[in-house]
Structure 1
Amino acid sequence: MRLVHRSAGDAVSEHILATEIKTADSFLARTRGLMFRRSIPDDYALVFRFDEPASRDLHMLFVPFAIDAVWLVDGEVTAVERLRPWLGLGKATADTVVELPAGAATDVEPGDEVAVVDG
């Protein structure tokens, strides 16, 4: 699997954000997120999927490294934010939230598309 980014208005060009994709699909996995890890690989993404769009918040308690967070509704980016270690907080509307290493989502902007694809 790959996490692919397509800029708004550019359906042809795509950029791979991550190739090591994990899904937080249980209550425990969603609650734990990236807490208690020392680091994550440069090509890693943790994906949180929900049934419907709603206000989704993230915290960085017990996460000792910065991350980029991307909020999506139907694959379209609604917000992107760099969250600081330990103290970072982020909130936006989403049906999917993606956590990436800091700097991985530098070129991602609201209105862009981000999708997990096979292959």
Structure 2
Amino acid sequence: MRVVHDPDGDRRALATDVEIADTFVTKTLGLMGKSSIPDEYALVFTFGEPDFLHRLFDTIPRQYIHMLFVRTPLDVLWLREDEVVKTETLSPWVGLGAARADTIVELPAGAAEGVEVGDTVVIEDGPSGDDRATAGAESGETEA
């Protein structure tokens, strides 16, 4: 799995080691207590279908991120249907951010450099681009 920034067809992997936080426990713990995270790592929070009232009024719930007990700075992307609606670098221990989103991506500070509101960021299944090139070379395939 990987997180890919695709602003105008110029695709760039932001992370190739991706973990999904989709349960109450994984969302609550997030990256708390970690003193560092690898350069190619991302933690992706998925929020699923909005509740009845948000659907009734056709709104997206506000999703919050706090940095309490998070010991390293993070780049955070808030996405709505793969479109970046907010990007922010949050400081350890005291950072706080929120936006109306259906997905949040946490990356090491600096990893989201160049990502802007309105850009497309997708979470893809499968190996990273480098892994595909290696697999093709091993099977005798070549790129044109």
Determine the C-alpha separation between the residues in 2 that align with 1:72 and 1:54.
Answer: 12
1:40 corresponds, among 37, 42, 47, to 37
Query: Please, what TM-score do these two structures have when normalized by structure 2?
Result: 0.78
Q: Deviations over 1:29-76 (max 9, x none)?
A: 000000011111000000001123310111100011100000000000
Gaps of 5+ in 1: none
Moved more, 50-59 or 76-85: 50-59
Pairing of 1:11-22 with structure 2 (within 5 A): 12-22=9-19
Q: Partner residue of 1:88? A: 95
Give the aligned partner of residue 79 of structure 1.
86
3-state secondary structure, aligned to 1:108 = coil
Residue 119 (structure 2) aligned to one of 107, 112, 119: 112
Q: Secondary structure at the match of 1:56?
A: strand
Structure with more of its chain in helix, by fraction: 2
SS in 2 for 1:86: coil
Structure 2 unmatched ranges of 5 or more: 51-59, 127-144
TM-score, normalised relative to structure 1: 0.94
Higher strand share: 1
Which region of structure 1 is more displaced relative to structure 2, 21-30 or 47-56?
47-56
Instruction: Provide the aligned C-alpha RMSD in A.
Output: 0.8
SS at match of 2:110: coil
Q: Which moved more, 1:49-58 or 1:71-80?
A: 49-58
Tell me how far apart the structure 2 counterparts of residues 106 and 90 of structure 1 sit (CA, whole Å): 18
Alpha-carbon distance, 1:3 to partner: 0.6
d(CA) in 1 for partners of 2:118 and 2:6? 10
Runs of 4+ in 1 over 3 A off after TM superposition: none
Residues in 2 aligned to 1:91 and 1:118: alpha-carbon distance in whole angstroms: 27
Matched residue, 2:106:
99
